[in-house]
Structure formats: C-alpha cells, structure tokens
Amino acid sequence: MKFFVDTADVAEIKDLAASGLLDGVTTNPSLIMKAGRPMLDVIKEICAIVPGPVSAETVATDHKTMLAEGRKLAKLAKNVAVKVPLTPDGLKTCKALAAEGTMVNVTLCFSAAQALLAAKAGAAFISPFVGRLDDIGQDGMHLIAEIMTIYRQYPHFETEVLVASVRHSMHVVQAAKLGAHVATVPPNVLRQLFKHALTDNGLKAFLDDWAKTGQSIL
C-alpha cells in the first residue's frame, strides 16, 4: 500500500518524507487555507520535496474553467495530480486531462457507481471518503470493498483506489486488508501507525537494563 499524507504543511511533509514513508501528498482548498500561503507556491514546494504524486485541486465548477485551471496546475511540476470533483463537469475534465497525459485524482466519491464512472473517464486515482460516510452512519470501508471488487473485474482499469477522509489507524489497516492501492492520511494518523504500548514498554525496559551496565556503544 502507498502512503500519501493529507496536508499542505510543508514542514510536516519534510519531516515525514525523511522517514521514507511518503509516496505522495494530497491537498485541498481547506488545507491550502490552513497553510496561509499562495496555493501555487505551496504546490511547487511540495512537488520538489516529494517525487510521487501531489494532488492539487481545481476550484471551478464548470468544465471550461476547470480544464484551464487543471492545465495550469499540471504545468507546475511533472508529479502534479490534478484533483477534480466527481461531477459531470469534473469527469469531462478528467477525460480531457488524462488524454493529455496528466494524472487526475477524482475526489468526493461516495458510491461504487461513481467510482466506476471515474475509472471509465481515465482517472489515475479515485478518492472515496470513508470517514465522512462513517459520520452519517454508513460503513465507509464497505464502499472500499465494493470498489475493489468492481475494479478487479476489469483489469484494463488503471485507476488506483486512494482511501481518503481517514480518521484513525484502523482505517488504514482495513483498507490495506481490502487491497486498496493508497491511503491518504493526516500527519497525526500516519504517526499513530508507529504507536503501540508494548513497543514503548519494551524499549523502556531494554534501556533501563542497558543503563545498569554502565556501558556505551560510542
């Protein structure tokens, strides 16, 4: 499974990239707002840090303007994945950009039917939002299972399932068990994957015993 981090915080991205864990980055208008910097500058900087796909989202709702925005974003760096919404105009834009060789991430997916349409439109990534479905009493991971089942029936589909709106580490584990290609996670959730009480307790015991030896490796 690939790990993308869902943030526009450059300092966080640099820190996580140093661990070798990051395969890409996803951003959206809300994350850009939190960054408090011009969007194009932020995307360029992130693309220079992470060699993998960096999602940059269009904000227009009509096809003509969305396509123009997508083309401008795609020119920022070779690893930009233009993000478009799962709407009729978004899928038209996806098809046009994909035909030009641009990676497209189709976002705000909430049904298997929508995911099927995105694959047919040539999306590089489909982003089902599991946490938001959980929030309204539906099972977000069931949607991932449905999409994976459908995509496996059609080997010619090249669209990767990018699990989004991840709220906790178990979302990541469940998505991996289902065979999802990518999970995009907030920095705090990515760090949760490291944590286990027995690891912390075991390390403390080893270090306490080592201290008693009075030795030093260096």
Which residues are catalytically annotated?
A: 83
| Whole-angstrom distance, CA of residue 170 vs CA of residue 119 | 26
Phi, psi (deg, nearest 5) at residue 201: -65, -40
Place of tokens 């999970």: 183
